[in-house]
Structure 1
Amino acid sequence: MNFQTLSRRSLFLRENNMSEETKPARRQYRRTTERRQEILVAVVQLLSDPDSTGVTTKDIARYLGLADGALYRHFSGKAEILQELIGFCDDSFERMFDEINAEAEVTMVTRAMVKARALLLFAEANCGLTRLLTGEALSSEGQQVREAMLACLEKAEKALCSSLQLAVVQREVPNSEDPAVRARLIMSYVQGRWARFVASGFEEKPTADWPQAQAVLFGGLLAS
Protein backbone atom coordinates (compact mmCIF):
# COMPACT_ATOMS: atom_id res chain seq x y z
CA MET A 1 0.00 0.00 0.00
CA ASN A 2 1.71 3.16 -1.18
CA PHE A 3 1.01 6.66 0.09
CA GLN A 4 1.76 8.44 -3.16
CA THR A 5 -0.36 6.08 -5.25
CA LEU A 6 -3.35 6.46 -2.97
CA SER A 7 -2.88 10.22 -2.83
CA ARG A 8 -2.92 10.55 -6.58
CA ARG A 9 -5.99 8.37 -6.80
CA SER A 10 -7.86 10.48 -4.26
CA LEU A 11 -6.74 13.61 -6.07
CA PHE A 12 -8.07 12.18 -9.33
CA LEU A 13 -11.43 11.42 -7.73
CA ARG A 14 -11.71 14.88 -6.23
CA GLU A 15 -11.07 16.51 -9.59
CA ASN A 16 -13.63 14.35 -11.36
CA ASN A 17 -16.27 15.12 -8.74
CA MET A 18 -15.95 18.88 -9.18
CA SER A 19 -18.89 20.85 -10.46
CA GLU A 20 -18.45 22.51 -13.87
CA GLU A 21 -16.38 25.64 -13.40
CA THR A 22 -14.46 28.07 -15.53
CA LYS A 23 -11.14 26.77 -16.82
CA PRO A 24 -9.04 29.27 -14.84
CA ALA A 25 -10.81 28.27 -11.62
CA ARG A 26 -10.28 24.58 -12.37
CA ARG A 27 -6.60 25.19 -13.06
CA GLN A 28 -6.26 27.09 -9.79
CA TYR A 29 -8.01 24.27 -7.92
CA ARG A 30 -5.61 21.73 -9.42
CA ARG A 31 -2.57 23.86 -8.60
CA THR A 32 -3.69 24.31 -5.00
CA THR A 33 -4.60 20.64 -4.53
CA GLU A 34 -1.43 19.42 -6.20
CA ARG A 35 0.71 21.70 -4.06
CA ARG A 36 -0.97 20.39 -0.89
CA GLN A 37 -0.26 16.85 -2.06
CA GLU A 38 3.37 17.76 -2.80
CA ILE A 39 3.75 19.12 0.72
CA LEU A 40 2.20 16.02 2.31
CA VAL A 41 4.35 13.66 0.25
CA ALA A 42 7.44 15.75 1.05
CA VAL A 43 6.80 15.36 4.79
CA VAL A 44 6.45 11.58 4.42
CA GLN A 45 9.66 11.40 2.40
CA LEU A 46 11.54 13.49 4.97
CA LEU A 47 10.29 11.25 7.77
CA SER A 48 11.36 8.19 5.76
CA ASP A 49 15.01 9.16 6.26
CA PRO A 50 16.37 6.66 8.82
CA ASP A 51 18.20 9.49 10.59
CA SER A 52 15.15 11.74 10.89
CA THR A 53 13.36 12.33 14.17
CA GLY A 54 10.90 14.94 12.91
CA VAL A 55 10.48 17.82 10.51
CA THR A 56 10.03 21.57 10.71
CA THR A 57 8.28 23.89 8.29
CA LYS A 58 11.74 25.11 7.26
CA ASP A 59 12.76 21.54 6.43
CA ILE A 60 9.66 21.09 4.29
CA ALA A 61 10.10 24.39 2.46
CA ARG A 62 13.79 23.70 1.82
CA TYR A 63 13.02 20.21 0.51
CA LEU A 64 10.47 21.62 -1.95
CA GLY A 65 12.55 24.66 -2.87
CA LEU A 66 9.92 27.06 -1.52
CA ALA A 67 9.99 30.12 0.69
CA ASP A 68 8.91 29.31 4.26
CA GLY A 69 5.80 31.46 3.92
CA ALA A 70 4.62 29.55 0.83
CA LEU A 71 3.53 26.62 3.00
CA TYR A 72 1.07 28.81 4.86
CA ARG A 73 -0.88 29.45 1.69
CA HIS A 74 -1.91 25.80 1.79
CA PHE A 75 -1.81 24.81 5.48
CA SER A 76 -2.23 26.82 8.65
CA GLY A 77 0.90 25.20 10.04
CA LYS A 78 2.73 21.94 10.62
CA ALA A 79 0.00 20.70 12.96
CA GLU A 80 -2.55 20.74 10.14
CA ILE A 81 -0.13 18.88 7.86
CA LEU A 82 0.41 16.17 10.46
CA GLN A 83 -3.30 15.88 11.18
CA GLU A 84 -3.99 15.35 7.49
CA LEU A 85 -1.38 12.59 7.39
CA ILE A 86 -2.90 11.00 10.50
CA GLY A 87 -6.26 11.19 8.75
CA PHE A 88 -4.72 9.37 5.81
CA CYS A 89 -3.56 6.57 8.13
CA ASP A 90 -7.02 6.41 9.69
CA ASP A 91 -8.73 6.21 6.29
CA SER A 92 -6.25 3.60 5.08
CA PHE A 93 -6.86 1.38 8.10
CA GLU A 94 -10.60 1.68 7.62
CA ARG A 95 -10.34 0.69 3.95
CA MET A 96 -8.10 -2.26 4.78
CA PHE A 97 -10.46 -3.50 7.47
CA ASP A 98 -13.52 -3.06 5.25
CA GLU A 99 -11.87 -5.22 2.58
CA ILE A 100 -11.04 -7.88 5.16
CA ASN A 101 -14.56 -7.83 6.61
CA ALA A 102 -16.01 -8.23 3.12
CA GLU A 103 -14.21 -11.54 2.59
CA ALA A 104 -16.70 -14.40 2.54
CA GLU A 105 -16.24 -17.74 4.30
CA VAL A 106 -13.51 -16.44 6.59
CA THR A 107 -13.68 -17.01 10.34
CA MET A 108 -13.70 -14.05 12.68
CA VAL A 109 -10.45 -15.17 14.29
CA THR A 110 -8.82 -15.29 10.87
CA ARG A 111 -10.11 -11.79 10.14
CA ALA A 112 -8.53 -10.53 13.34
CA MET A 113 -5.23 -12.14 12.36
CA VAL A 114 -5.33 -10.66 8.87
CA LYS A 115 -6.12 -7.22 10.31
CA ALA A 116 -3.12 -7.41 12.62
CA ARG A 117 -0.83 -8.43 9.78
CA ALA A 118 -2.27 -5.67 7.56
CA LEU A 119 -1.24 -3.09 10.17
CA LEU A 120 2.30 -4.47 10.08
CA LEU A 121 2.40 -4.47 6.28
CA PHE A 122 1.11 -0.90 6.16
CA ALA A 123 4.11 0.16 8.22
CA GLU A 124 6.54 -1.69 5.94
CA ALA A 125 5.12 0.14 2.93
CA ASN A 126 5.04 3.56 4.62
CA CYS A 127 8.22 4.21 6.60
CA GLY A 128 7.59 7.92 7.10
CA LEU A 129 4.04 7.38 8.29
CA THR A 130 5.27 4.76 10.75
CA ARG A 131 7.38 7.43 12.40
CA LEU A 132 4.10 9.27 13.00
CA LEU A 133 2.27 6.14 14.18
CA THR A 134 4.91 5.49 16.83
CA GLY A 135 4.64 9.08 18.03
CA GLU A 136 8.35 9.73 17.55
CA ALA A 137 7.68 12.60 15.15
CA LEU A 138 4.98 14.04 17.43
CA SER A 139 6.97 14.57 20.63
CA SER A 140 7.04 18.35 20.19
CA GLU A 141 3.50 18.67 18.83
CA GLY A 142 0.43 19.98 20.59
CA GLN A 143 -2.25 17.98 22.34
CA GLN A 144 -4.67 18.10 19.39
CA VAL A 145 -2.22 16.31 17.09
CA ARG A 146 -1.36 13.69 19.69
CA GLU A 147 -5.04 13.09 20.43
CA ALA A 148 -5.73 12.60 16.72
CA MET A 149 -3.06 9.89 16.57
CA LEU A 150 -4.35 8.25 19.75
CA ALA A 151 -7.87 8.17 18.28
CA CYS A 152 -6.52 6.54 15.11
CA LEU A 153 -4.81 3.80 17.10
CA GLU A 154 -7.87 3.26 19.30
CA LYS A 155 -10.04 2.74 16.21
CA ALA A 156 -7.59 0.14 14.91
CA GLU A 157 -7.73 -1.69 18.24
CA LYS A 158 -11.54 -1.57 18.22
CA ALA A 159 -11.54 -3.14 14.76
CA LEU A 160 -9.50 -6.05 16.11
CA CYS A 161 -11.77 -6.31 19.14
CA SER A 162 -14.88 -6.33 16.95
CA SER A 163 -13.71 -9.41 15.04
CA LEU A 164 -12.81 -11.18 18.28
CA GLN A 165 -16.18 -10.31 19.84
CA LEU A 166 -17.95 -11.81 16.85
CA ALA A 167 -15.77 -14.90 17.21
CA VAL A 168 -17.20 -15.33 20.72
CA VAL A 169 -20.78 -14.67 19.57
CA GLN A 170 -20.43 -17.20 16.74
CA ARG A 171 -18.88 -19.72 19.13
CA GLU A 172 -15.58 -19.93 17.31
CA VAL A 173 -13.87 -19.41 20.67
CA PRO A 174 -14.90 -20.11 24.29
CA ASN A 175 -17.14 -17.67 26.15
CA SER A 176 -14.30 -17.22 28.63
CA GLU A 177 -12.30 -15.35 25.99
CA ASP A 178 -12.00 -11.60 26.67
CA PRO A 179 -11.87 -9.88 23.24
CA ALA A 180 -10.88 -6.48 24.66
CA VAL A 181 -7.87 -7.87 26.52
CA ARG A 182 -6.78 -9.92 23.51
CA ALA A 183 -7.15 -6.91 21.19
CA ARG A 184 -5.02 -4.76 23.52
CA LEU A 185 -2.35 -7.45 23.56
CA ILE A 186 -2.33 -7.68 19.76
CA MET A 187 -2.24 -3.92 19.31
CA SER A 188 0.61 -3.65 21.82
CA TYR A 189 2.57 -6.15 19.74
CA VAL A 190 1.84 -4.23 16.53
CA GLN A 191 2.95 -0.94 18.06
CA GLY A 192 6.07 -2.62 19.43
CA ARG A 193 6.99 -3.91 15.97
CA TRP A 194 6.40 -0.45 14.52
CA ALA A 195 8.74 1.01 17.15
CA ARG A 196 11.47 -1.56 16.42
CA PHE A 197 11.10 -0.83 12.70
CA VAL A 198 11.75 2.87 13.30
CA ALA A 199 14.53 2.28 15.85
CA SER A 200 16.36 -0.05 13.43
CA GLY A 201 16.42 2.59 10.69
CA PHE A 202 13.65 0.69 8.90
CA GLU A 203 15.77 -2.45 8.63
CA GLU A 204 13.85 -4.77 10.99
CA LYS A 205 10.62 -5.49 9.14
CA PRO A 206 7.43 -5.49 11.25
CA THR A 207 6.30 -8.80 9.73
CA ALA A 208 9.53 -10.59 10.64
CA ASP A 209 8.72 -13.66 12.74
CA TRP A 210 4.99 -13.13 12.19
CA PRO A 211 4.12 -16.87 12.08
CA GLN A 212 5.65 -17.35 15.54
CA ALA A 213 4.07 -14.16 16.88
CA GLN A 214 0.69 -15.13 15.46
CA ALA A 215 0.85 -18.47 17.27
CA VAL A 216 1.42 -16.66 20.58
CA LEU A 217 -1.01 -13.77 20.07
CA PHE A 218 -3.84 -16.03 18.95
CA GLY A 219 -2.80 -19.02 21.05
CA GLY A 220 -5.68 -21.40 21.72
CA LEU A 221 -8.10 -19.64 19.39
CA LEU A 222 -7.32 -21.44 16.15
CA ALA A 223 -7.66 -24.85 17.73
CA SER A 224 -10.99 -23.99 19.40
Structure 2
Amino acid sequence: MIDMRGEGSLLAVVALGGGIGALARYGIAHAMPTREIPWATLITNVIGCLLIGILMVLITEVWTAHRLLRPFLGVGVLGGFTTFSTYAVEVRGLLASGNYPIAFGYLFGTVIAALAAVLVGCGAHGSSPVPSPGKESDMSYSRTEMRLSIILGQDDLWHHKPKYQEIVKRARAAGLSGASVWRGVEGYGASAHIHTTRLLDLADGLPLLVVAVDTEERIRGFLDGIGELLTEATVTLEGVERVHFTEDRP
Protein backbone atom coordinates (compact mmCIF):
# COMPACT_ATOMS: atom_id res chain seq x y z
CA MET A 1 0.00 0.00 0.00
CA ILE A 2 1.08 3.59 -0.65
CA ASP A 3 2.00 5.59 2.41
CA MET A 4 -0.30 8.60 2.11
CA ARG A 5 1.87 10.48 4.59
CA GLY A 6 4.89 10.18 2.31
CA GLU A 7 5.15 9.59 -1.42
CA GLY A 8 1.40 9.04 -1.75
CA SER A 9 0.53 12.47 -0.39
CA LEU A 10 3.20 14.04 -2.60
CA LEU A 11 1.81 12.40 -5.73
CA ALA A 12 -1.73 13.35 -4.75
CA VAL A 13 -1.04 17.07 -4.30
CA VAL A 14 1.09 17.25 -7.46
CA ALA A 15 -1.67 15.54 -9.46
CA LEU A 16 -4.34 17.82 -8.00
CA GLY A 17 -2.25 20.93 -8.64
CA GLY A 18 -1.38 19.78 -12.15
CA GLY A 19 -5.05 19.37 -12.98
CA ILE A 20 -5.86 22.85 -11.70
CA GLY A 21 -2.97 24.40 -13.63
CA ALA A 22 -3.85 22.56 -16.84
CA LEU A 23 -7.47 23.73 -16.62
CA ALA A 24 -6.30 27.32 -16.18
CA ARG A 25 -4.03 27.01 -19.23
CA TYR A 26 -6.88 25.53 -21.25
CA GLY A 27 -9.06 28.48 -20.29
CA ILE A 28 -6.48 30.96 -21.59
CA ALA A 29 -5.97 28.96 -24.80
CA HIS A 30 -9.73 28.81 -25.36
CA ALA A 31 -10.07 32.56 -24.83
CA MET A 32 -7.14 33.34 -27.16
CA PRO A 33 -7.20 30.95 -30.15
CA THR A 34 -3.83 30.58 -31.90
CA ARG A 35 -3.49 32.60 -35.07
CA GLU A 36 -0.20 33.74 -36.59
CA ILE A 37 1.48 34.34 -33.24
CA PRO A 38 0.70 31.88 -30.40
CA TRP A 39 -0.04 34.57 -27.83
CA ALA A 40 -1.90 32.25 -25.47
CA THR A 41 1.11 30.00 -24.86
CA LEU A 42 3.49 32.95 -24.60
CA ILE A 43 1.31 34.75 -22.05
CA THR A 44 0.73 31.53 -20.10
CA ASN A 45 4.44 30.76 -19.80
CA VAL A 46 5.38 34.32 -18.85
CA ILE A 47 2.66 34.53 -16.19
CA GLY A 48 3.69 31.11 -14.88
CA CYS A 49 7.35 32.15 -14.60
CA LEU A 50 6.35 35.36 -12.83
CA LEU A 51 4.33 33.37 -10.29
CA ILE A 52 7.17 30.87 -9.83
CA GLY A 53 9.51 33.74 -8.95
CA ILE A 54 7.04 35.14 -6.44
CA LEU A 55 6.41 31.69 -4.97
CA MET A 56 10.11 30.98 -4.44
CA VAL A 57 10.54 34.24 -2.52
CA LEU A 58 7.48 33.59 -0.38
CA ILE A 59 8.38 30.03 0.57
CA THR A 60 12.05 30.73 1.26
CA GLU A 61 11.93 34.18 2.86
CA VAL A 62 8.40 34.93 4.05
CA TRP A 63 6.39 31.83 4.90
CA THR A 64 7.11 28.80 7.01
CA ALA A 65 5.24 26.68 4.52
CA HIS A 66 3.69 23.24 4.91
CA ARG A 67 5.90 20.56 3.38
CA LEU A 68 3.39 19.88 0.58
CA LEU A 69 2.75 23.50 -0.37
CA ARG A 70 5.69 23.83 -2.76
CA PRO A 71 5.03 20.56 -4.62
CA PHE A 72 1.35 21.53 -4.89
CA LEU A 73 1.87 25.09 -6.14
CA GLY A 74 5.28 24.86 -7.82
CA VAL A 75 5.36 21.42 -9.42
CA GLY A 76 1.60 20.87 -9.61
CA VAL A 77 -0.30 24.09 -10.33
CA LEU A 78 2.45 26.06 -12.06
CA GLY A 79 3.95 22.96 -13.68
CA GLY A 80 0.56 22.15 -15.19
CA PHE A 81 -0.10 25.77 -16.08
CA THR A 82 3.13 26.36 -18.01
CA THR A 83 3.96 24.26 -21.05
CA PHE A 84 7.20 23.55 -22.86
CA SER A 85 5.77 20.87 -25.15
CA THR A 86 3.15 23.17 -26.71
CA TYR A 87 5.78 25.89 -27.07
CA ALA A 88 8.10 23.47 -28.92
CA VAL A 89 5.32 22.21 -31.20
CA GLU A 90 4.30 25.77 -32.07
CA VAL A 91 7.89 26.75 -32.89
CA ARG A 92 8.20 23.68 -35.10
CA GLY A 93 4.93 24.54 -36.85
CA LEU A 94 6.06 28.10 -37.54
CA LEU A 95 9.35 26.84 -38.97
CA ALA A 96 7.58 24.24 -41.10
CA SER A 97 5.30 26.92 -42.56
CA GLY A 98 8.32 29.04 -43.51
CA ASN A 99 7.44 31.86 -41.13
CA TYR A 100 11.02 32.18 -39.90
CA PRO A 101 10.96 35.72 -38.40
CA ILE A 102 8.00 34.91 -36.15
CA ALA A 103 9.35 31.43 -35.38
CA PHE A 104 12.72 32.68 -34.15
CA GLY A 105 11.17 35.70 -32.47
CA TYR A 106 8.80 33.40 -30.59
CA LEU A 107 11.59 30.91 -29.83
CA PHE A 108 13.97 33.41 -28.23
CA GLY A 109 11.37 35.92 -27.09
CA THR A 110 9.68 33.34 -24.88
CA VAL A 111 12.95 32.46 -23.15
CA ILE A 112 13.90 36.10 -22.57
CA ALA A 113 10.43 37.09 -21.37
CA ALA A 114 10.19 34.04 -19.08
CA LEU A 115 13.56 34.71 -17.44
CA ALA A 116 12.69 38.38 -17.01
CA ALA A 117 9.38 37.39 -15.42
CA VAL A 118 11.16 35.15 -12.90
CA LEU A 119 13.50 38.00 -11.95
CA VAL A 120 10.58 40.39 -11.56
CA GLY A 121 8.75 37.83 -9.43
CA CYS A 122 11.79 37.28 -7.21
CA GLY A 123 12.08 41.03 -6.69
CA ALA A 124 8.38 41.59 -6.03
CA HIS A 125 8.75 41.17 -2.26
CA GLY A 126 10.42 44.56 -2.04
CA SER A 127 13.76 45.83 -0.86
CA SER A 128 15.12 47.26 2.34
CA PRO A 129 14.56 50.98 2.82
CA VAL A 130 17.53 53.23 2.14
CA PRO A 131 18.46 55.36 5.13
CA SER A 132 18.18 59.11 4.70
CA PRO A 133 21.57 60.77 4.17
CA GLY A 134 22.97 63.32 6.56
CA LYS A 135 21.54 61.83 9.76
CA GLU A 136 23.77 60.53 12.49
CA SER A 137 22.95 58.15 15.30
CA ASP A 138 24.03 57.68 18.87
CA MET A 139 25.12 54.27 20.07
CA SER A 140 24.82 53.14 23.65
CA TYR A 141 25.62 49.85 25.37
CA SER A 142 23.50 48.13 27.97
CA ARG A 143 24.61 45.64 30.55
CA THR A 144 25.51 42.14 29.47
CA GLU A 145 22.46 40.02 28.79
CA MET A 146 21.82 36.44 27.72
CA ARG A 147 20.75 35.06 24.36
CA LEU A 148 18.67 31.91 24.22
CA SER A 149 18.85 29.96 20.95
CA ILE A 150 16.55 27.01 20.29
CA ILE A 151 16.94 24.88 17.16
CA LEU A 152 13.99 22.66 16.30
CA GLY A 153 12.13 21.34 13.26
CA GLN A 154 9.37 23.30 11.59
CA ASP A 155 7.14 20.21 11.75
CA ASP A 156 7.61 19.65 15.51
CA LEU A 157 4.17 19.88 17.10
CA TRP A 158 2.76 20.62 20.54
CA HIS A 159 -0.91 19.69 20.90
CA HIS A 160 -1.30 19.72 17.10
CA LYS A 161 0.26 23.19 16.75
CA PRO A 162 3.83 24.13 15.79
CA LYS A 163 6.15 24.15 18.79
CA TYR A 164 7.85 27.37 17.71
CA GLN A 165 4.53 29.22 17.91
CA GLU A 166 4.00 27.96 21.46
CA ILE A 167 7.53 29.00 22.45
CA VAL A 168 7.03 32.54 21.11
CA LYS A 169 3.63 32.74 22.78
CA ARG A 170 5.11 31.74 26.14
CA ALA A 171 8.05 34.13 25.70
CA ARG A 172 5.59 36.99 25.29
CA ALA A 173 3.58 35.83 28.31
CA ALA A 174 6.80 35.64 30.35
CA GLY A 175 7.58 39.27 29.53
CA LEU A 176 10.77 38.68 27.56
CA SER A 177 11.86 41.73 25.60
CA GLY A 178 11.44 39.89 22.31
CA ALA A 179 11.63 36.59 20.46
CA SER A 180 12.20 35.87 16.78
CA VAL A 181 11.95 32.77 14.61
CA TRP A 182 14.43 32.22 11.77
CA ARG A 183 13.96 29.61 9.10
CA GLY A 184 16.83 27.47 7.82
CA VAL A 185 17.07 26.76 4.09
CA GLU A 186 18.96 23.48 4.39
CA GLY A 187 20.31 21.19 7.07
CA TYR A 188 20.35 17.75 8.66
CA GLY A 189 20.07 16.28 12.12
CA ALA A 190 20.40 12.91 13.79
CA SER A 191 18.87 11.09 10.80
CA ALA A 192 21.62 12.48 8.49
CA HIS A 193 18.88 13.16 5.92
CA ILE A 194 19.37 16.57 4.29
CA HIS A 195 16.27 18.77 4.35
CA THR A 196 16.13 21.62 1.86
CA THR A 197 13.90 24.41 0.53
CA ARG A 198 14.47 23.49 -3.11
CA LEU A 199 11.26 23.62 -5.10
CA LEU A 200 11.05 19.94 -6.02
CA ASP A 201 11.63 18.62 -2.50
CA LEU A 202 9.11 18.07 0.26
CA ALA A 203 10.94 20.38 2.69
CA ASP A 204 9.77 18.45 5.73
CA GLY A 205 11.75 18.86 8.94
CA LEU A 206 13.50 22.08 7.97
CA PRO A 207 15.35 23.65 10.92
CA LEU A 208 14.00 26.68 12.73
CA LEU A 209 15.95 28.93 15.08
CA VAL A 210 14.08 30.66 17.90
CA VAL A 211 16.10 33.47 19.48
CA ALA A 212 15.31 35.52 22.58
CA VAL A 213 17.50 38.06 24.41
CA ASP A 214 16.92 39.34 27.94
CA THR A 215 18.52 39.32 31.36
CA GLU A 216 20.05 36.07 32.52
CA GLU A 217 17.50 35.75 35.30
CA ARG A 218 14.55 36.07 32.93
CA ILE A 219 16.03 33.79 30.28
CA ARG A 220 16.84 31.00 32.74
CA GLY A 221 13.45 31.32 34.39
CA PHE A 222 11.72 31.13 31.01
CA LEU A 223 13.82 28.14 29.96
CA ASP A 224 12.90 26.25 33.13
CA GLY A 225 9.23 26.66 32.25
CA ILE A 226 9.30 25.30 28.69
CA GLY A 227 11.23 22.08 29.18
CA GLU A 228 8.38 19.96 27.79
CA LEU A 229 8.70 21.78 24.45
CA LEU A 230 12.42 21.09 24.08
CA THR A 231 12.65 17.29 24.16
CA GLU A 232 13.93 17.13 20.55
CA ALA A 233 15.51 20.59 20.34
CA THR A 234 19.05 21.89 20.60
CA VAL A 235 19.34 24.70 23.15
CA THR A 236 22.26 27.08 23.71
CA LEU A 237 22.82 30.02 26.06
CA GLU A 238 25.32 32.80 25.38
CA GLY A 239 26.23 36.03 27.09
CA VAL A 240 25.71 39.01 24.78
CA GLU A 241 25.93 42.79 24.96
CA ARG A 242 22.89 44.66 23.70
CA VAL A 243 23.62 47.77 21.63
CA HIS A 244 21.06 50.57 21.29
CA PHE A 245 21.04 53.02 18.39
CA THR A 246 19.10 56.27 18.63
CA GLU A 247 18.79 58.84 15.87
CA ASP A 248 20.00 62.35 16.56
CA ARG A 249 17.27 64.94 16.36
CA PRO A 250 18.08 68.39 14.90
TM bracket, shorter-chain basis: 0.3 to 0.5
Rg larger in structure = 2
* Higher strand residue share: 2
* Higher helix residue share: 1
With normalisation by structure 2, the TM-score equals 0.31
With normalisation by structure 1, the TM-score equals 0.33
